[in-house]
Amino acid sequence: MRLYKCWICLCLCMCLCLCLVSNGEKDPLSCNIYEGEWVWDDSYPLYDSANCPHLRSEFDCSKYGRPDHFYLKYRWQPSKCNLPRFDGKEFLTKLKGKQIMFVGDSVSLNQWQSLICLLHSSVPQTQILDEVEVDKQLYNYTFPEYQVSLFVFHSTHLVDIEEEKIGRVLKLDSIKSGSIWKNMDILVFNTWLWWYRTGPKQPWDYIQIGDKILKDMDRMEAFRIGLTTWANWVDAEVDTNKTKVLFQGISPQHYNGIEWNEPGVKNCSKETRPINGSTYSAGLPKASYVVEDVLKNITKAVHLLNITTLSQLRKDAHPSSYNVFKAMDCTHWCVAGLTDTWNQLLSVQVTNWK
């Protein structure tokens, strides 16, 4: 009889374990957290942007009159596990004494702003020190109680742009800012937004590869060469036993409705809901394949924060005209909003880092 009872208990335990797995109670590091869909969640958003005193006006969609709030109510649900709800106090506690730096263009600034708001909402009484360094290229917010510093370093291409006699030169094989980056505990890199810019918005006049000076070249090939220079820098200069390195996947834009099966739509201005399901009809942007190819050849440990597809599904999450400039912006993202999910995904990677 005692043996029979033990057998019953064992069966119940096994059933409970199976139920937990089937319900997604699985370690998020053991599944692909980047595959899934957006689901409505009444408990969202994770914070009220009106209570974030550090939020820049170009991302504050609520303040600048966005009338709908649907975009705030969606949670990313991975297909085969659950994504832990962001816990700012746990984040700061686990990373006590660490320095985190986002390196890249304004999309990096966008994500950095989100992380500051997430953390502030978790510890609203905690003092935050802010400072601007290196000619407004480097910003830093520090949580002194936890000795955690969050930096953002503005670099449109990661490789150098230098002023010379002939003009501004994009040097595809040169990185001089790396001495600042490599001393961080966590590095999150991003670049792409500026590689295809032309005309007045192009931030360089010439391209240099070694001793060769070019007026222009295929932009995707230039991107590949520049990104390879960054990859070689990581391999040569970063001790990944001390510094965790992540590269953020390509952040999509929504200016062409054909990509989401709405021909004739030219921007994101009337989009209020995400795309259903887990796939984007246009597929990945070409730049994503370049990123994947380059990362495959890095010998050091670099994690791809693979936010591209899940962000493609969020045609509703951009500021559109609800920003301080009143300009149509389907490139950046509202805060609160999608970038909070990027930081949830980031938290999974960095707070479980051994």
Positions marked catalytic: 106, 329, 332
Structure tokens, 55? 């939020």
19 contact partners, CB below 8 Å, separation of at least 6: none
d(C-alpha 12, C-alpha 139), whole Å:
54
Contacts of 66-71 spanning 24+ positions with Cβ under 8 A? 66/319, 66/320, 66/322, 66/334, 68/272, 70/272, 70/273, 70/316, 71/272, 71/314, 71/316, 71/317, 71/334, 71/337, 71/338
Contact 330, 318 (CB under 8 A): yes
Please provide the size of the chain in residues.
354
CB atoms within 10 A of CB 329: 22
